[in-house]
């Protein structure tokens, strides 16, 4: 048996203090999330009902439900995903599997990094100029979704590229030695093994697009609409903008209603993220390496 020396005891004490410090910092990070969710549930849960979720606002938006805004948010997210995910994956495949390391590729990577740091209001102005005016989509779901897609495109590209680069090179070399082309290798081997990382980028995109207000305010979302949108060229309501309106613009607003809207928005994001995470874990469990 080894006897504990003074040096060993000091090292153990330092490790315990370090562990306690890390746990405390982790708790500090989690605490705001717990407080936010607790406040939303406490103040917003009483207004959640079938009528609140599946009817439209009434009495000057001081009563009724949020169904038009809920449906509009889902439409905006879905169209944005359809626009950005294929383009982002294609760009990541080119940068990771085809492009050589030269000044042009480095310029593209720099542009992607800079695009990720552009404020959302700048994306909104770009969306107005490009999609609303130049392409003549007008203020519509399509214009707003394309603006959101451009804004979140760097997230998809970076997540996909890192996932592709994480696939061992030995997998590619084995396919090439068996006579497979580069595209066959990517489609049959690389992409299936990188899908979990790609889903991470999709999760981040869903979270961001669901809560953005400035880009859709200028390009496709409306404060109030009496009818549901009939197509992607119509305007729509959205939960994020609806939350802003009922919180700041509507007089005599019941105190609990904005908290109910916020609770639904957060719950929708958590639900979509949870489904994506569950799918990612399922696919990760099927990996052979």
**pLDDT 10s digits, 129-154:** 999 999 999 999 999 999 999 999 99
Q: Does residue 83 lie in a domain region? A: yes
Residue 109, number of CB atoms within 10 A of its CB: 16
Nearest to 93 by CA among 174, 156, 186: 186
- Going by pLDDT thresholds of 50, 70 and 90, the confidence category of residue 248 is confident
Task: Say if residue 80 is in the same domain as residue 168.
Answer: yes
Task: Say if residue 43 is in the same domain as residue 55.
Answer: no
- Going by pLDDT thresholds of 50, 70 and 90, the confidence category of residue 288 is low
Task: Say if residue 27 is in the same domain as residue 148.
Answer: no
Q: Does residue 60 lie in a domain region? A: yes
Asked whether the predicted pLDDT for residue 272 surpasses 90, the reply is no
User: Could you give the angle at the alpha carbon of 77 between the alpha carbons of 41 and 186, nearest 5°?
Assistant: 125
Residue 149, number of CB atoms within 10 A of its CB: 23
CATH of the domain at 263: 1.10.3720.10
Q: Does residue 78 lie in a domain region? A: yes
Residue 251, number of CB atoms within 10 A of its CB: 6
pTM of structure: 0.87
Asked whether the predicted pLDDT for residue 2 surpasses 80, the reply is no
What confidence tens digit (pLDDT) does each residue in 59-96 have? Answer: 888 888 899 999 999 999 999 999 999 999 999 999 98
Task: Say if residue 25 is in the same domain as residue 165.
Answer: no
Mean pLDDT across 225-234? 90
Query: In total, how many domains does the chain have?
Result: 2
Q: Does residue 59 lie in a domain region? A: yes
Q: Does residue 125 lie in a domain region? A: yes
- Going by pLDDT thresholds of 50, 70 and 90, the confidence category of residue 13 is confident
Task: Say if residue 64 is in the same domain as residue 173.
Answer: yes
Distance (Å, rounded) from C-alpha 282 to C-alpha 195?
Answer: 11
Task: Say if residue 33 is in the same domain as residue 140.
Answer: no
pLDDT at 1 (0 to 100): 47
Packing angle, helices 141-166 and 120-127, rounded to 10:
130
pLDDT at 284 (0 to 100): 74
Contacts of 163 (CB under 8 A, 6+ apart): 194, 195, 196, 197, 198, 200
Task: Say if residue 125 is in the same domain as residue 26.
Answer: no
In the predicted model, what is the mean pLDDT of the chain? 88
Task: Say if residue 126 is in the same domain as residue 30.
Answer: no
Q: Does residue 252 lie in a domain region? A: yes
* Percentage, residues of the chain above pLDDT 90: 43
Q: Does residue 1 lie in a domain region? A: no
pLDDT at 4 (0 to 100): 59
- DSSP state letters, the chain: -PPPPHHHHHHHHHHHHHHHHHHHHHHHHHHHHHHHHHHHHHHHGGG-SHHHHHS-EETTTTEE--HHHHHHHHHHHHHHHHHHHHHHHHHHHIIIII--SSHHHHHHHHHHHHHHTS-HHHHHHHHIIIIIIIS---SSHHHHHHHHHHHHHHHHHHHHHHHHHHS-HHHHHHHHHTT--HHHHIIIIIHHHHHHHHHHHHHHHHHHHHH--HHHHHHTB-S--SS---STTS-B--HHHHHHHHHHT-TT--THHHHHHHHHHHHHHHHHHHHHHHHHHHHHHT---
Give the range among 4-18, 36-50, 119-133 with minimum mean pLDDT.
4-18
Task: Say if residue 25 is in the same domain as residue 118.
Answer: no
Nearest to 65 by CA among 51, 83, 85, 45: 51
pLDDT at 201 (0 to 100): 83
What confidence tens digit (pLDDT) does each residue in 183-200 have? Answer: 999 998 898 888 888 888
Mean pLDDT across 247-265? 89
Instruction: Quote the tokens at residue 214.
Output: 């400035």
pLDDT at 262 (0 to 100): 93
Task: Say if residue 26 is in the same domain as residue 142.
Answer: no
Asked whether the predicted pLDDT for residue 36 surpasses 50, the reply is yes
Task: Say if residue 41 is in the same domain as residue 62.
Answer: no
Which domain covers residue 23, as residue numbers? Answer: 6-47
Asked whether the predicted pLDDT for residue 159 surpasses 50, the reply is yes
pLDDT at 3 (0 to 100): 57
Task: Say if residue 110 is in the same domain as residue 130.
Answer: yes
């Amino acid at each position: 048996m080894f006897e504990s020396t003074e040096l060993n005891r000091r090292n153990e004490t330092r490790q315990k203090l370090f562990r306690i410090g890390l746990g405390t910092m982790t708790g500090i990070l989690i605490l705001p999330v717990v407080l936010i969710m607790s406040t939303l549930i406490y103040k917003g849960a009483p207004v959640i009902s079938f009528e609140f979720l599946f009817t439209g606002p009434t009495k000057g938006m001081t009563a009724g439900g949020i169904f038009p805004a809920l449906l509009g948010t889902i439409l905006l997210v879905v169209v944005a995903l359809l626009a950005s995910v294929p383009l982002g994956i294609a760009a990541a495949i080119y940068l990771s599997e085809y492009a050589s390391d030269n000044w042009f590729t480095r310029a593209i990577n720099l542009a992607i990094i800079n695009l990720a740091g552009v404020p959302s209001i700048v994306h909104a102005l770009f969306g107005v100029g490009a999609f609303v005016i130049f392409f003549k989509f007008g203020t519509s779901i399509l214009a707003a979704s394309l603006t959101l897609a451009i804004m979140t495109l760097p997230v998809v590209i970076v997540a996909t590229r890192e996932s592709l680069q994480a696939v061992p090179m030995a997998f590619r070399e084995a396919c090439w030695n068996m006579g497979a082309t580069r595209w066959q290798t990517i489609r049959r081997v690389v992409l299936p093994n990188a899908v979990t990382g790609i889903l991470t980028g999709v999760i981040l995109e869903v979270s961001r697009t669901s809560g953005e207000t400035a880009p859709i305010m200028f390009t496709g979302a409306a404060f109030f609409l009496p009818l549901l949108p009939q197509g992607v060229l119509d305007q729509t309501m959205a939960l994020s903008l609806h939350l802003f309106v009922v919180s700041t613009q509507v007089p005599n607003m019941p105190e609990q209603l904005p908290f109910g809207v916020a609770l639904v928005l957060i719950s929708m994001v958590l639900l979509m993220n949870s489904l994506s995470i569950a799918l990612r874990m399922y696919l990760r469990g099927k990996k052979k390496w």
